[in-house]
Amino acid sequence: MLPFLRLCWQYLRAFVLIYLCLLAGNAISTLLPLKIPGSIIGMLLLFTLLSTQILPSSWVKPGCYLFIRHMALLFVPISVGVIKYYPQLVSQFGPLVISCLISSLITMLVVGYSSHYMHGIRRMKSDKESS
Residue 126's pLDDT is: 66
8 Å CB contact between 20 and 49? no
One domain, residues 85 and 126: yes
Q: Tens-of-pLDDT digits for all 131 residues of the chain?
A: 888 999 999 999 999 999 999 999 999 999 999 889 999 999 999 999 999 999 999 999 999 998 889 888 888 888 888 888 889 989 999 999 999 999 999 999 999 999 888 887 666 666 666 66
**One-letter amino acid identity for 98?**
I
Q: What is the pTM of this model?
A: 0.62
One domain, residues 10 and 43: yes
Residue 17's pLDDT is: 96
Split into its structural domains, the chain has a count of 2
CA 12 → CA 15, 18, 32, distances in Å? 5, 10, 30
Residue 128's pLDDT is: 67
One domain, residues 82 and 103: yes
User: In whole angstroms, what is the distance from residue 122 CA to residue 126 CA?
Assistant: 6
Domain stops at, among 74, 99, 116: 74
DSSP 46-100: HHHHHHTTSS-HHHHHHHHHHHHHTHHHHTHHHHHHHHTTHHHHHHTHHHHHHHH
Residue 12's pLDDT is: 94
Residue 117's pLDDT is: 87
One domain, residues 55 and 105: no
What's the count of helices (H) and strands (E) in the chain, helices before strands?
7, 0
Residue 82's pLDDT is: 84
Residue 102's pLDDT is: 98
Could you list the residue range(s) of the whole structural domain that residue 12 is in?
1-74
SS percent in the chain: helix, strand, coil, step 5? 85, 0, 15
